[in-house]
Structure 1
Amino acid sequence: MSTAQNHRVEADATDPLGSALPVNMTGRGRAAHSNKAGRFEAESRELMDDGWGTIDELPPIKTEVQTEAARHVITKNTSPDLPFDRSINPYRGCEHGCIYCFARPTHAYMGLSPGLDFESRLFAKPNAAQVLERELGAPSYQPKPIAIGTNTDPYQPIERTQKIMRGILEVLNKTGHPVTIVTKSALVMRDIDILAEMAERNLAKVAISVTTLDRKIARSLEPRASTPTRRLQAIKALSDAGIPTAVLAAPIIPGLTDHELEGILEICKEHGATEASYILLRLPREVSELFKEWLLREAPGSYRRVLSLLRSMRGGKDYDAQWTQRFKGKGPYADQLAKRFQLACKSKGLSSRSLKLSCDHFIKPTCGGVQLSLL
């Protein structure tokens, strides 16, 4: 095999809608089956089958974790699309390996591939809690809800041993700082003790992302995330503990999972969800090609329909990054999805408005090198 990457190329793979696509075969248990160099690299490699046996003879790709000494952990944004202005990402890359993940292109900034590298070569920030406490103690800091899980999942499998997210929650709980969490992992139930204590002061809420209730599709689409059943169990456990819990139907994949929208909302409501939201499939940069490869491999019969419907909501393109439109799309089909969502929320008693958390309990920390007041 060429280099140390375990895949081979099948020649003459063609996008039925007109463009040529390389289809790469690789290790088992991963959503991406290619590992092209990032867009910032000066050189690229084309993999080829050298004839030495089949892919099944190769060992599976192992997850590698590197530590990263964070200097800052709170990231600010000014996007009009987002209901928050600050967030924390305990990890770079995500072992869940969701093929549609819009965060995949960020791995290119690390000189790595948005493909297999994104889900197998991860970066952890073990000092995140300490840095967070220092930043919260800055004289100029003013509290507003911090969003976690907006880029990569804070409860991905390596969190079991790293426990970075739990350390962050301990700091937020101690300082009375509000937090919103998005995850597709049942591991969030581990931290119910902290989250329940924060929820009593209206400091925390959790959104569980549910893409599909079909176990087979979920296994291929998001191979190392919790099963749909386990996510429903997490919703119930969080809700039973008094933690405000929402369902995020995301991403909605037209022509593949969009028919499940009402069913997802209904069963999540039955398990205790009180809020709901949805996001249309987003295919920025390298994600477009990776998702097309997945469709050709896993759902070839739906390929034309999925991309045709998606492009009808994206101005004829795979993706349109315009603010106010990138999450929901535009056009007749997008309008129909929005109406279906609103009707389903109304009929099932789910709020489509986000609960406002309290900032009144914040106590600025005075340790960890924070400059004390002279007054």
Structure 2
Amino acid sequence: MAHDPFPDEHAGAGEAPAVRIPVQAVKGRGVASRMAHRFSTDQRDAFDDGWDAREPGVGNAPLPVRTEVIWEDARSALTRNDSPDIFFSHSVNPYRGCEHGCVYCYARATHSYLGMSPGLDFETRIIAKRNVAALLRAELSRPGHQPSVINIGSATDCYQPVERELRLTRALVEVLGEARHPFSLITKSSGVERDLDLIAPLAADRLAAVYVTITTLDAKLARILEPRAAAPHRRLRTLRALADAGVPVGVSVAPQIPFITEDMEQVLAAAREAGATRAFYTVIRLPWEVDPLMREWLQLHYPDRAARVMARIQDLHGLDDAARARGRAYDSAHATRMSGTGLWGELLRQRFDKACARLGYHRERFELDLSQYRPALARGQGALF
């Protein structure tokens, strides 16, 4: 249940008013509440009972929320994808949840399956799959495994802050390298530079490619939209470092949010100058609980344009009057969910196409070499040929 960002007073006859606590932005976090997930049987609203539970000396500012890492023994590493609008058929994610805290993240809703909030829990309760590299090695070693480009980080940023210490992504890259198995990864973090010693030699053999997401060049916007991801200028430096090391690099200008992210062309130009040769974009998607979380964020940060933004998002997803009346803001149809539809979708497509043509971006994906894969190498055995 979404929390109203504005105070609401209720009182019966002779009763003291129970004042609901207005939701406030939490410094360093993307969302402001632990919104109940869709499987929850309880719905709660915070209210002021007269006792000040806030930290002394900071007025009404919410207490900081710490990050908790929860270890998990996963049952499998590879996830198969059969969606026709996604360019990879297999992915591996070393974490569940993401400390970057991007408010728009479509993966937030997956925390509901863990009995956790897609709100603050998604970005503060990080599930780390400690056995993911061993599982991947076993799955790549199977005689029946058919190689296809594996994407790292499709539902969580594989280089989010906890990776500095846990090094689960590095372990995955090591396994893929040993098996000579092609992979791509996508990130908003400069942490990928740490693993250039592994990635660059594989890229030279057409076994690795990297995509960096740059949603906007506006540092102030990025600070509230993606609070713990690398700053936009830092991501551009990461693109340059990757390109200089010979790694094929592309830029993801995603998601496009009407009247919020308005500098697509400038992002594409800066990324091209930094060394990106491929580009793609998607429009914002608001499945399940991500919808009320986005509405809450808009009311906190852009109340003057919140209704207009949501109306344009509904336009992008081609929602009719009946769907809008039910409060829907997303259509999961594969044909349009990534690129949008209608007038607004077409305008985005034209802007992107013209900018890419002017800047000299290649439109096809990086072609990686599947023929080098050797299951015996994944098992730690030598190869005869």
* Aligned partner (choices 253, 274, 277) of residue 277 of structure 2: 274
Compute the displacement of 1:157 (Å). Answer: 0.3
- Aligned twin of 2:339: 328
- Name the SS of the counterpart of 1:193 in structure 2: helix
2:362 is paired with a residue whose SS is coil
Q: Residue 36 of structure 1 corresponds to which residue in structure 2?
A: 35
1:71, CA displacement in angstroms? 2.0
1:49-88 equivalence runs, <5 A = 49-53=48-52, 55=54, 57=56, 59-88=63-92
C-alpha distance in 2 between matches for 1:360 and 1:280? 34
2:89 alignment partner AA: D
Kept after mapping to 1: 8 A contact 2:264/2:352: yes
| Structure 2 residue 364 is matched with structure 1 residue 353 | yes
Q: Which residue of 1 aligns with 2:208?
A: 204
Aligned with 2:177 (options 156, 173, 186) = 173
C-alpha separation in 1, matches of 2:49 and 2:224: 27
TM-score calculated relative to the size of structure 2:
0.88
Q: Distance in 1 between matches of 2:219 and 2:26?
A: 21
Q: Which has the larger radius of gyration?
A: 2
Task: Describe the superposition over 1:125-158 as per-residue Cα deviations: whole angstroms up to 9, x where unpaired.
Answer: 1211111111000111111100111111000000
Give the length in aligned residue pairs.
356
**Counterpart pick for 1:250 among 231, 247, 254:** 254
Q: Output the CA distance in 1 between the equivalents of 2:28 and 2:51.
A: 22
Residue 108 of structure 1 is matched in structure 2 by: 112
Q: Contact 1:8–1:49 at 8 Å: present in 2 too?
A: no
Q: Where does structure 2 lack aligned partners over 5 or more consecutive residues? A: 10-20, 57-61, 320-327
Q: 2:96 aligns with which of 92, 113, 119?
A: 92
From the superposition, tell whether residues 207 and 320 of structure 1 become closer, same or farther in structure 2 (CA, over 3 Å).
same
Q: Relative to structure 1, is the Cα distance of residues 23 and 338 closer, same or farther in structure 2, using a 3 angstrom cutoff?
A: farther
Query: Gaps spanning 5+ residues in structure 1: where?
Result: 1-6, 14-21, 371-375
Matches within 5 A, 1:4-15: 10-12=6-8
Residue 147 of structure 2 aligns with which residue? 143
TM-score of the two chains, using structure 1 as the length reference: 0.91
Provide the aligned C-alpha RMSD in A: 2.1
* Distance change >3 Å, CA 28–CA 55, structure 1 → 2: farther
Deviations 1:272-300 (A, max 9, x none): 00000001011111011111111111112
Code of the aligned partner of 1:49: D
Find the counterpart in structure 1 of residue 299 from structure 2: 296
- How far did residue 54 of structure 1 move? 7.0
CA distance in 1, matches of 2:316, 2:114: 32
The one-letter amino acid paired with 1:218 is: A
For residue 346 of structure 1, report the CA deviation from its aligned partner.
0.4
**1: distance between equivalents of 2:8 and 2:329?**
22
